[in-house]
Structure 1
Amino acid sequence: MDDIQNNFVKLLKENNIALSIEQLNQFELYYKTLVEWNEKMNLTAITEREQVYMKHFYDSLSLSFYFPMGQVSSLADIGSGAGFPSIPLKIAFPHLRITIVDSLNKRILFLRELVSSLGLKDTECVHGRAEDISRLSTYRDSFDLVTARAVARLSVLNEFCLPFAKKGGAFIAMKGSEIDEELVESSYSLSELRGKLIKVNRMQLPIEDSIRHFVQIEKVAPTPAKYPRKAGLPLKSPLVKI
Structure 2
Amino acid sequence: MSEQIFNRHDASEAMLIGLLEEKGITLSPRQLEQFDLYYRELVEWNEKMNLTGITDREQVYIKHFYDSISLAFFKDFSGIGSLADIGSGAGFPGIPLKIVFPHLKLTIVDSLNKRIGFLRHLTEKLELEGVQLVHGRAEDVARLPEHRDQYDAVTARAVARLSVLNELCLPFVKVNGWFAAMKGAAVSEEVEEATASIRELGAELADLYSFVLPLEEAARYMVVLNKAKPTPKKYPRKAGVPLKTPLK
Structure 2 counterpart of 1:110: 118
What RMSD in Å do the two structures reach over aligned CA positions? 0.7
Contact 1:172 1:214 in 2 (8 A): yes
- Give the whole-Å Cα distance in 2 for the aligned partners of 1:182 and 1:142: 26
- 1:207 aligns to 2:215 (yes or no): yes
SS of the equivalent of 2:70 reads: helix
SS across alignment from 1:166:
strand
Q: Which residue of 2 aligns with 1:40?
A: 48
Match of 1:63 among 63, 71, 81: 71
Aligned to 1:31: 39
Q: Which whole-Å CA distance do the structure 2 matches of 1:4 and 1:101 have between them? A: 29
1:123 Cα offset (Å): 0.3
1:42-191 equivalence runs, <5 A: 42-191=50-199
User: 5+ residue gaps in structure 2?
Assistant: 1-8
* Aligned-partner Cα distance in 2 for 1:2–1:178: 33
Question: Displacement, 1:223?
Answer: 1.3
* Separation of aligned partners in 1, 2:124 and 2:134: 15
Identical counterparts, % of pairs: 60
Indicate conservation of the 8 Å contact 1:177/1:210, yes or no. no
* TM-score under structure 1 length normalisation: 0.98
Instruction: Give CA deviations for 1:81-136 in whole Å, capped at 9, x if unaligned.
Output: 00000000000000000000000000000000000100000001100000000000
Greater than 3 Å deviation, 4+ residue runs? none
- For 2:61 and 2:11, the matched residues in 1 are separated by 12
AA of the residue aligned to 1:8: L
Tell me how far 1:233 sits from its aligned partner: 0.2
Q: Tell me how far apart the structure 2 counterparts of residues 111 and 167 of structure 1 sit (CA, whole Å).
A: 29
Helix, strand or coil at the partner of 1:81: coil
Residue of 235, 238, 241 corresponding to 1:230: 238
- For 1:178, what is the secondary structure of its paired residue? coil
Distance 2:83 2:185 in 1: 25
Q: Distance in 1 between matches of 2:38 and 2:235?
A: 35
Q: Could you tell me which amino acid in structure 1 is paired with residue 204 of structure 2?
A: K
Task: Give the deviation of 1:177 after TM superposition.
Answer: 2.5
Q: Distance in 2 between matches of 1:218 and 1:38?
A: 36
